[in-house]
Amino acid sequence: MDSKEYIESGILELYVYGLLDEEQNKEVHEMSKKHQEIEEEIVAIEKSILALSTSFCPFLSVQNFEKIKAKLEIKHSKVVELKPKKLIPNYIGWAAAAVLLLFIGYQYNQQLTIKDEVVTLENANEKLNEAVVNSESEAKQNKEALNVIRDAKNTVISLAGQAVSPSSFAKVYWNKQTQTVYIDASGLPEPPEGKEYQVWSLKLKPSLTPTSIGLLSDFTKNSAKLFEVSGTSDAEAFGITLEPKGGSKSPTMEQLYTLGAV
């Protein structure tokens, strides 16, 4: 087995995650010393996993949030109760009325301040809830990504950069039993406005026949850059092109970013 076949076998991903036995670990170590491209691939996998872990949002404690909320609500719920005034002599009646008006004005301003603070608190609550949801969503995405990479049943196909973007690359994780396909698009540049990547399953014989198996939508929002596309059972190669938003019926070969045979 040459170094390219060794890389595409998926054993390096298992090596990085510590899922091999001692003899297999020794074999991978020796191969990495003999072949520079294998050592570089191991480093690339480690960097990819590190990028996944550092993309997690900081954990937001719901319990701490509730404690802060309770303290703020207690602080702003104390409204001074107006007590009825006793009858007082006429000669101080106007002075008392003036004091009462000033006190009512003060209370009114206090109520306005409290309302503003309540609105501010509600906005903060909304942002915190949104951050929690985003954090949970990203954690779920990254957990799914790790599960895909660790699945020994997946065939890993490396897609190399083409003329329009030689530095681009991608990987296909294809489970032939379940026909599920995941695309690791971390090696693709951000698509320009109005464009998105489209993935093609290719039959090479008797003639080239491309079949669209999905779009890499919301590319920027997907921090893990791992996308599940439609399944396929008989692909002989995979390619990724840059197409107008919404995709195309057939691939734009001038915008072929990556390509790789099974």
Check residue 210 and report its DSSP letter: E
Spatial contact of 101 and 93, defined as CB atoms under 8 Å apart: no
Q: Model-level pTM? A: 0.49
122 in helix, strand or coil?
A: helix
130 in helix, strand or coil?
A: helix
Any residues with CB less than 8 A from the CB of 11 and at least 6 apart, and which? 20, 24, 28
Please give the pLDDT value at position 250. Answer: 95
Closest C-alpha to 175, from 155, 204, 161? 155
| Mean pLDDT (10-residue bins), the chain, 262 residues | 80 81 88 88 80 53 56 51 50 62 75 79 72 59 68 91 97 92 95 96 92 95 91 94 96 96 93
Q: What residue segments make up the domains of the chain, in order of their start?
A: 1-54, 62-147, 151-262
Residue 95, Cβ density class (10 Å: 0-12 exposed, 13-18 middle, ≥19 buried): exposed
Q: Are strands 155-161 and 256-261 parallel, antiparallel or unpaired?
A: antiparallel
